Structure 1
C-alpha cells in the first residue's frame, strides 16, 4: 500500500514541510522548540544560491537557510546517509553565514549568532564517543577547562534513529516534532496528539494526494534518489567496516570511495553530488 504522507527525509518532502514560504509557521514552531534561546518569533528565508565568493563556494546550497528577527543565522541540513568527512562538511557550511556578515569599510567584527542544525537519518557511530544513544547532540567551541569559548556558533545534531519514544511517552512539543519527522511516512491518519493547528497544517503539507501531478512526479523522483542513495552508502559503509577498509591503507580507502562512486553513478547521481558525498574530485568521478 502506498504511503499517504511524504517521507520527510527526501529533499522534496523536507522542503515541502519546512522550506516553503507557506510552511514558515511550521519551521518557526519546530526551531523555536529546538532553539528556545534564539527567541524565534519570525523568520526570513535567505537566498541560498548567492553565498560564497568563488564558483566552488556557490555550489554550497543549504536545505534551509534563514534568519530570525534579531538577524541571527540558522542553517538546517537534512543528512540522509553516512558520508566521508561529515564533520568537516558541517563546519565548512557554517563559515558562509559568518563570512557574509562582513561589512564594507570600517567594521568592528561583531557577529550575530549562527546555528547549524543537522537532522540525521543515520547513527553517528564513531563520530561521537560519549552520549551514545542520545538523540540531540549540541556542540560548541570550548577551552581546556570545558568552558564555552565562543557562544555565538552552535551545532545541533538530531540523531533520528535513536528517537524511540512511543506516542504515549511524548512529553514536550519537541518530542512531538521528532515523532512526527521519524514516523510521518507510516501514518494513515492524524494521531490525536497532533490535532492542534500547526500540526494539522504540517499533515496537510505532507499529504501526497493534495499535490499536483508534477509535484507527485517530483516527489517520486526524490524518493527514488533517497532510497538508492541511502542503500548504496549504508551498504558500502557496512561492507567497509566488515572488511576493515575504513581503518586500512590509503589505497584501500581510495578503492572504497571509487567503488561507492561507481554505484552512485549507476543510480544516476550527478558528479557534483557524488563528489560532495565521497570527497573525490569530479574529474576522478567522470573517468569512472
Structure 2
C-alpha cells in the first residue's frame, strides 16, 4: 500500500497534462509563491502561438503561459534534454511574449512584466547552485548606484527601477540539488527531481499536489502513456550521454589532426546534435510500434505530428 500511496506524477508530465486545469492552479501557484517569495495567484492560462508546438517556430516552446493577479505574464518550461542554444531560446520566448501582448498603437505603458521560469533536467553548464535568478539592474559605472526612473502612473509621478519593468529569469537546475529538503523551496526542488512529496509537507502547492497528482488516480491508459514518457526520457538521456562521449573523442581527434582548438567544441556539438536527433527518432519509432498515439509521442519527444506520421 505504501507504493500506491506515495507515488506521484512527475512535474514535467503534470505541467503538460494537468496543471493547465483551473482546478489544479494551486499546485503551480505554490511553486511560484515559493520562487517569488510572494503569494502568487494565477488568473488564467493564456493561449497563443507562444506556447504551442509549431514546426516553423520551435524556439518558442513553453509549457504554460499564465497571467497572475497583477496582470504580469509567467512562462514556465520544463526541458528534459540538452539544447545547445537554450539561453537564446529563453530570451526569444520572452521577447516574443512581450510583443504578443501589446498591440500596434498602444502606449508602451501597457507592456507587461514577464517572468521566465526554466526547470532543466540536463547539464546546463558550470555553477554551484541549483537555483539561479536573473534580473535587469542598471548600476552606475562610477557611482555604483542603481538608476531610478521617474514614471507617470495614475496621474502621478512615481519613482521606478528598471528591474520593476524588465523581465526576470529563474533557472532551476534540478539535477544539481543534493540536499536534505528542509525549506519549502528545497521541498519543491526535491519533488521536481524525485517525484517524492513528504506526507506532512507544509510547502505551498505540494499538499495540493499530493491530492491532485497521484499516480494511481490516472486511468490505465494514462499510466501507460506516462510510463512510456519516463522510458523515453531515459532512452534520450542514454543516447545523449553516449553522443557526448563520442563527440568529445571525435573533437579531440579532429583538433589534433588539423591543429585547431575549435575542433573539440565542434565535434562535441555535432555529436550532441546528431545523438539527440537519432535518439528522438529511435524513441518515436519504438513508441509508435507500441501503439502510442502520435499526440503522446509528440509530447514525449518534441517531434511534430507530421514527423511522427512519416516514421
Give, in whole Å, the separation in 2 of the partners of 1:91 and 1:143. 19
- Aligned position for 1:155: 169
Give, in whole Å, the separation in 1 of the partners of 2:105 and 2:249. 56
The answer (yes or no) to whether the contact 1:49–1:59 under 8 Å persists in 2 is no
How far apart are residue 41 of structure 1 and its match?
Answer: 2.9
- Aligned position for 1:263: 279
* Higher RCO, 1 vs 2 (CA within 8 Å, ≥6 residues apart): 1
- Aligned position for 1:176: 187
Give, in whole Å, the separation in 2 of the partners of 1:232 and 1:60. 24
- SS of aligned partner of 2:29: helix
How far apart are residue 201 of structure 1 and its match?
Answer: 2.6
- Aligned position for 1:129: none
The answer (yes or no) to whether the contact 2:121–2:173 under 8 Å persists in 1 is yes
- SS of aligned partner of 2:108: coil
How far apart are residue 72 of structure 1 and its match?
Answer: 0.5
How far apart are residue 93 of structure 1 and its match?
Answer: 1.2
The answer (yes or no) to whether the contact 1:17–1:26 under 8 Å persists in 2 is no
Specify the structure having the higher radius of gyration (Cα).
2
RMSD across aligned positions (CA): 4.0
TM-score under structure 1 length normalisation: 0.74
Cα pair distance change 1:238/1:13, threshold 3 Å: farther
Point out where structure 1 has 5 or more consecutive residues left out of the alignment. 127-131
- Aligned position for 2:133: 138
How far apart are residue 2 of structure 1 and its match?
Answer: 7.9
- Aligned position for 1:83: 83
The counterpart of 1:223, out of the listed 230, 238, 244, is 230
- Aligned position for 2:217: 210
- Aligned position for 1:233: 240
How far apart are residue 163 of structure 1 and its match?
Answer: 1.5
- SS of aligned partner of 2:167: strand
- Aligned position for 1:31: 32
Give, in whole Å, the separation in 1 of the partners of 2:84 and 2:46. 28
Return 266-275 or 101-110, whichever deviates more.
266-275
How far apart are residue 243 of structure 1 and its match?
Answer: 4.5
Give, in whole Å, the separation in 2 of the partners of 1:73 and 1:42. 10
Give, in whole Å, the separation in 2 of the partners of 1:275 and 1:223. 11
Cα pair distance change 1:224/1:88, threshold 3 Å: same
Give, in whole Å, the separation in 2 of the partners of 1:59 and 1:88. 9
TM-score under structure 2 length normalisation: 0.70
How far apart are residue 203 of structure 1 and its match?
Answer: 1.8
- SS of aligned partner of 1:60: coil
> How many residues of Structure 1 are paired with residues of Structure 2 in the alignment?
267
Query: Which aligned pairs between 1:1-288 and structure 2 lie closer than 5 A?
Result: 5-6=7-8, 8=10, 10=12, 12-16=13-17, 18-36=19-37, 39-49=39-49, 56-57=56-57, 60-108=60-108, 110-126=110-126, 132-142=127-137, 145=141, 150-151=162-163, 152-167=166-181, 170=182, 172-184=183-195, 187=196, 191-194=198-201, 198-244=205-251, 247-248=262-263, 252=267, 253-254=269-270, 257-268=273-284
How far apart are residue 230 of structure 1 and its match?
Answer: 2.2
Point out where structure 2 has 5 or more consecutive residues left out of the alignment. 148-160, 253-260, 286-293
